[in-house]
Amino acid sequence: MKRIIFPPLFALLAALALPAQADSYRLPKNAVFEEECGSCHIAFPPQMLHADSWRAMMGDLSRHFGSDASIDEKRRTAITDFLVANSGGRKTGDTRDAQGKPLLRITETARFAKKHREISTATWKRVAIKSPANCAACHALAAVGEYSDHSAVSPK
Amino acid sequence: MRHILIIAAALFASSALAETPRDFLTRFEKEAGAAASAERGARFFNTSHGGEWSCASCHTERPAQAGRHAKTGKAIAPLAPAANAERFTDAAKVDKWFRRNCNDTLNRLCSAQEKADVMAWLLAPK
């Protein structure tokens, strides 16, 4: 619907840009972020949550999804700044829960559900996958921010 | 040529700062005021302490082999220095992970004696 009101030239540019951008969540290099946020799981793309979610998560790292992920204050501030600077934009959609609180899980966002609506509950539960947050089980290039649908598979 | 100099300087700087796995055994034994026991370390590492996990849940009972994070499934490189030269070379990293992993496994920090025992076991020839 919205597309109709776009000036035609802009629509054309957007269409050209889309295939390259739709599936890539590559980031500027950041050694501290990669080391600290990529040790227990792949470093999740900051673009998939808005800044308020990242701020809330970074404010309580010693109780991070049942794990102690605490770090020193200097690194905590540096990583928060990096996450906020690269946080989601318009296409990230709504990342709050029904009460208006920022979601902490990418896997609970509407956009994640929409992108994965064809995956059955049984698939999510397979041993090789364990958790929907285990992006790399299906997206072989998740660690470098590549999530295009042609590179995604569902392991047995 | 410039690159060789930079590499040489970097090597020198890191060898001046880096710690070795044995340094940690010495440090923890000194803090504990008692000798370490590899046998106690093995028992501590492989049994759970009232919680859901033991150290072996993520690092396996044979720390010379790669492990897997019990919740996320992510691969974890071997913990034993003999199998992984990067282990126990950086005090900030070692202290950080003992803090986090002891909290997750025991719901408290590990004592110096427990850390010394684990070090002795990880360093013992297998």
Domain map (residue ranges) of chain A = 25-151
At A139 the pLDDT is 92
- B65: DSSP letter: S
What span, in angstroms and rounded, lies between the C-alpha atoms of B80 and B92? 18
- CATH number, domain containing residue B96: 1.10.760.10
Residue keyed to tokens 């994070």 = B69
Q: Count of domains in chain B?
A: 1
Question: Testing the interface with B: which of A44, A64, A67 to mutate, by most B Cβ within 10 A?
Answer: A67
For the entire predicted model, the pTM comes to 0.88
Phi, psi of A146 (to 5 degrees): -110, 115
The 10s digit of each residue's pLDDT in B75-95 is: 999 999 999 999 999 999 999
CB B114 within 8 A of CB B101: no
Q: Which amino acid is at B96?
A: K
Q: Which residue of B has its CA nearest to A63?
A: B104
Q: Does B126 touch chain A (CB under 8 A)?
A: no
Are B72 and A71 in contact (CB < 8 Å)? no
Residue B2 lies in a domain: no
Phi, psi of B49 (to 5 degrees): -120, 50
CB B112 within 8 A of CB B41: no
Which residues are within 8 A (CB) of B1 and not within 5 positions of it... i.e. 6 or more apart? none
Q: Which amino acid is at A108?
A: E
Which residues are within 8 A (CB) of B91 and not within 5 positions of it... i.e. 6 or more apart? B19, B24
Tens of each residue's pLDDT in chain A, 156 residues: 444 444 444 444 444 444 444 467 888 899 999 999 999 999 999 999 999 999 999 999 999 999 999 999 999 999 999 999 999 988 899 999 999 999 999 999 999 999 999 998 888 888 778 788 999 989 988 988 899 876 677 765
Whether B18 has a pLDDT exceeding 90, the answer reads: no
Q: Does B30 touch chain A (CB under 8 A)?
A: no
Which residues are within 8 A (CB) of A42 and not within 5 positions of it... i.e. 6 or more apart? A135, A136, A142, A143, B74
Residue B49 lies in a domain: yes
Q: For residue B65, what are the domain limits?
A: 19-123
Are A70 and B72 in contact (CB < 8 Å)? no
Residue A46 tokens read as 């900051």
**ipTM beyond cut 0.90:** no
Task: Mark residue B38 as left, alpha or beta (left: phi above 0; alpha: psi -120 to 50; beta: remaining).
Answer: alpha
* Backbone CA torsion sign across B98, B20, B36, B38: positive
Residues of B in contact with A42 (CB under 8 A): 74
State how far residue B89 is from chain A, nearest Cα, in angstroms.
16
Residue B80 lies in a domain: yes
- For B20, other C-beta atoms within 10 Å of its C-beta total 11
